[in-house]
Amino acid sequence: MTQPTFFSPPQLAAARTLQQCGALAEAAALCQQALAQTPKHPALLVLLGVLFCQQQQFDQGRECLQALPPEATLAADADTLTDIAAIHFLLKDPLPALAALDQALSQQPNAYLAQARRGLVRMQLGHFADALADFQRAVQYSPATQQAALHINIARCALYLEDLELALQAVAHAQAAGGGHLQQWLLVAVDTYVALRHWEAAETAIQHALDAGLEELKCVKLLALVLAGQDKHAQAAESLRNALSNHPEDVELLMQLATLARVQGHYGKAVRYMQTAIQHAPDNASLWAQLAQLGAKYFDEQGARLAAEQALTLTANDSGLSRAEALVAIASVTGEESLAEDYYRQALAQVPDYTPACLGLGQLLLQWGRVDEALTHFEAATARHPVAALGALINARRFPEDPERLAHIERVAYLPSLQGAVSGCLLFDLAAVWEHLKDYPKAFQFVNQANAANRKLLSYNAEQHSQQCRAIRQTFTADFFAQTQAYGNPSAQPTFVLGMPRSGTTLVEQILGGHKDIFVAGEIGLLSGIIQKLNAWERHLGSGQHYPACVRDLTADQARHYADEILAELRHYAPDARYIVDKLPHNFENIGLIRLLFPNAPIIHVLREPRDVAVSNYFTDYQAKFGGMGFAYDLEDIGKQLRDHQALMRHWDAVLAKPILTIRYEDVVADTEAAARQILAYLQLDWTDTVLDYQNLERAVKTASVWQVRQPIYNTSTEKWRRYADFLQPLEDILNAPPSEAQTDPEPPAALPAGYFFQGMTRLQAGEQEAAATIFSTILQHQPQHAAALHMLGIARFQQGQTEIALKLLQQAIAKQPHHASWHQNLSVIYNALGLSEQARRAQATSQQLHAKQAAQKLQAENPLGFSLTMPCGNDGEDIGSLPCKGEGWGGV
């Protein structure tokens, strides 16, 4: 069959000339005029598609591609094939782009534009060495006007390949070539100078570009990179925030601020910057996918899922990178294993060896014990990005040993970026590699540098933690437990495994999971949610208290409510299990709250040689480093955390009626069966051999111990600290020092009875105003800042006819806590009683405004217990404020 041929209309060459001059709209108009005369002309149609995509009109570009007759592609010349590839490339669909360019170059091997575009596609795929070869070949055949752009791309590839000398040469060639590529030159020049730590040269390049007329905002963004690369993150963020005040809708600026916020551990800020960016670009699927990934990583499951679903919706008709990114986002927030696996595999079908999909799927498989399959995907990612999958491979205990590759990883680790002067995570990886290679001094050198890099960004305060632990001991006393014997839920179903992080809690959890009567739910952290609610309620009260002291405000009904809430959530996992295990190491701080809510709950404490715990933590880079794991990046802080843990465990042993079972990790390693029998005896369960087959359990393990629990137990996991004994003196000094003031327990101050505030509320509702006033006055003697006690004392005095005293008390309460709408309503009532109608009107207006604001912001979430703090009943028996007089009193939830 004879293939059709297509003549080249004169408008085609003219349109290409306009395109090269940047007159995209004029070129598109010329193509459309020509197509009116020669409909569906292949070269005109695909050039029009390129022009549409270059103007961000992607749907129109895709329509041009779809309108191309199939036979036209077969007969297309090299220029048309090169434009077909450009459309696919701009639509982030690299595989068909690569195929078209290969076909074009088979026709014209020296076609510089096809060579250059293939380099861009290969960069998009992460094939930087191949891309570099394409650009270098294109330089040989390109006109002078294209030289600068090609050298810029050579520099980009060289940077990815860590060939800094070549990158520097290419930057110089690009600058010498000149042309209209100032912004692109500046980007790669700054990246190159930053990689070489030539800070002055980077700033000079930015100033040169600014003097040459480049937009100031673009220079500010690059200056932020230079500052962050020198660990000046606060200055970088400040410069970007200043720019944001003048450019509030700049999406790139907002995303750069989000990245800096995340690097500094300000995840709430990062999310808000991303959300603002999305407001300005709601159809940008990549932004939604990135928001989903951030939410999934930092525990906003609902928000992450909504964002991922939006990314999936926006890319429903797309293929290639955009669709792959959305599929990875939805996979990362999908809790069901098989569904997540399917999404990852769909992403890999869109872009084979797509790094995020390889890493996500590999990690999912590793969590479920499918180690060999996981390694296949990690190694596929490594083939494209030698460093990207390094941490994942190390987690699966596959260590690189080739000296050249290790040297390459080390060079990358010391490259400055928005993360800072070095890559802390890569330095941790290198420490693990050299430990595997038994070069312990070198391993400790890298881990010291990794921890030092992280400490610059952390705000952990060991003294504050010690003070918090002391407050816990002073709150949960033997006397407190005696007062609260009737509190909580008697169920023994909730079971807690706890201890210092890296003490062996995951191993014990896995052993428990081998018993048919036990369901292990993982690190679900239900207690931290209860603590957040307690603190939120205290803010609502304006008491000035926070956890742990605020537990003394709880009544028996409230404690039972919280216990029932936790139990209901646990039973969602396995309603028929005899025991449901929440394994969260730091719950050793919350044993008092556990016993308050579940007096019969089994608690298993795992104890390990402190120096082994310390070394293991020091070699681990935690996701929660900006939260409770901030201690793990300093040997002295680790030592102080160990001392706090020891003090707390001594306290719990002294004050708790139901004993805690303490299991030594070393005993589990030495004789697993004996330790397992001891645990099952504590739980009053019959022996079963299945608990010894823990490494083959079909359940996900999502902790730092993900690989270890899939392996048999080896004695090499004990006494590891001796390898690093020469470097542990700061730790030894802390462990052997006398207790600090915060670690001692003087006689605790006299405490109010448990649930005392609500006793006052009950008395007030019963019409016992003087008894209520006595209670509120006593609270204020202990806690002068307790705004709710002030307010309710005012209510009691008002009901007693002491209106002027009541007015002063309510004004003081509102001054401390001005955001309660009902308090302003009550103030209005008192003003009216005093004949102050104008003040009453203003107070009423404020109340209405606050009510409207609270409704809009759904601030009822700040009142988790469900109480109202409006006035009960007045002297005349009518409601004052909005609270109905209910027979059940104030204690219900």
Residues 526 and 628 both lie in one domain: yes
What would the mean pLDDT of 103-112 be, rounded to a whole number? 94
- Asked whether residue 712 carries a pLDDT value surpassing 80, the answer given is no
pLDDT number for residue 371:
86
- DSSP state, residue 265: T
Residues 596 and 729 both lie in one domain: yes
Q: Is residue 418 part of a domain?
A: yes
Residues 441 and 504 both lie in one domain: no
- What SS3 state is found at 36? helix
Residues 445 and 489 both lie in one domain: no
Residues 769 and 701 both lie in one domain: no
- Asked whether residue 873 carries a pLDDT value surpassing 80, the answer given is no
Q: Is residue 613 part of a domain?
A: yes
Which tokens go with 197? Answer: 């730590």
pLDDT number for residue 892:
22
pLDDT number for residue 11:
87
What would the mean pLDDT of 816-834 be, rounded to a whole number? 93
- Give the residue numbers spanning the domain of 857: 756-862
pLDDT tier for residue 887 given thresholds of 50, 70 and 90: very low
- What SS3 state is found at 850? helix
Q: Is residue 46 part of a domain?
A: no
| Domain final position from 251, 282, 313 | 282
Question: What tens digit of pLDDT does each residue of 168-191 get?
Answer: 999 999 999 887 788 889 989 999
Q: Is residue 485 part of a domain?
A: yes
Q: Is residue 363 part of a domain?
A: no
pLDDT number for residue 389:
80
| Domain final position from 265, 282, 299 | 282
- What SS3 state is found at 888? coil
| Domain final position from 457, 473, 492 | 457
Instruction: Answer whether the bond into residue 548 is a cis peptide, omega within 30°.
Output: yes
Question: Degrees (nearest 5) of the Cα angle 341, 284, 20?
Answer: 115
pLDDT number for residue 160:
86
Question: What tens digit of pLDDT does each residue of 568-620 get?
Answer: 999 999 999 999 999 999 999 999 999 999 999 999 999 999 999 999 999 99
Percent of the chain at pLDDT > 70 equals 92
- What SS3 state is found at 319? coil
Question: What tens digit of pLDDT does each residue of 654-676 get?
Answer: 999 999 999 999 999 999 999 99
Residues 660 and 551 both lie in one domain: yes
Q: Are 519 and 579 in contact (CB under 8 A)?
A: yes
Cα separation, 555 vs 564, whole angstroms: 14
pLDDT number for residue 697:
59
Please tell me the total count of domains within the chain: 4
Query: Helix 78-90 crosses helix 112-125 at what angle (to 10 degrees)?
Result: 30
Question: What tens digit of pLDDT does each residue of 265-302 get?
Answer: 998 899 999 999 999 999 999 999 999 999 887 767 88
Q: Are 811 and 827 in contact (CB under 8 A)?
A: yes
Which CATH number do you get for residue 632?
3.40.50.300
What would the mean pLDDT of 116-134 be, rounded to a whole number? 93
In this structure, the chain runs to a length of 893
Q: Is residue 200 part of a domain?
A: no
Between 663 and 3, residue with greater pLDDT: 663
Residues 712 and 678 both lie in one domain: yes
Q: Is residue 591 part of a domain?
A: yes
pLDDT number for residue 711:
56
pLDDT number for residue 412:
87
Q: Is residue 12 part of a domain?
A: no
Can you give the C-alpha Rg of the chain in angstroms?
33
Residues 641 and 599 both lie in one domain: yes
CB-based contacts of 221, cutoff 8 Å, min separation 6: 240, 243, 252, 253, 256
Which CATH number do you get for residue 792?
1.25.40.10
* pTM given for the model: 0.82
Residues 524 and 602 both lie in one domain: yes
Between 386 and 364, residue with greater pLDDT: 364
Residues 577 and 438 both lie in one domain: no
Between 881 and 627, residue with greater pLDDT: 627
Residues 478 and 516 both lie in one domain: yes
| Beta-strand relationship, 494-499 and 579-583 | parallel
For residue 379, CA distances in Å to 355, 373, 375, 382, 401 come to 10, 10, 6, 5, 14
Render the burial of 732-754: b for 16+ CB within 10 Å, e for the rest. eebbeeeebebbeeeeeeebbeb
Residues 472 and 485 both lie in one domain: yes
Cα separation, 452 vs 111, whole angstroms: 51
What would the mean pLDDT of 302-320 be, rounded to a whole number? 93
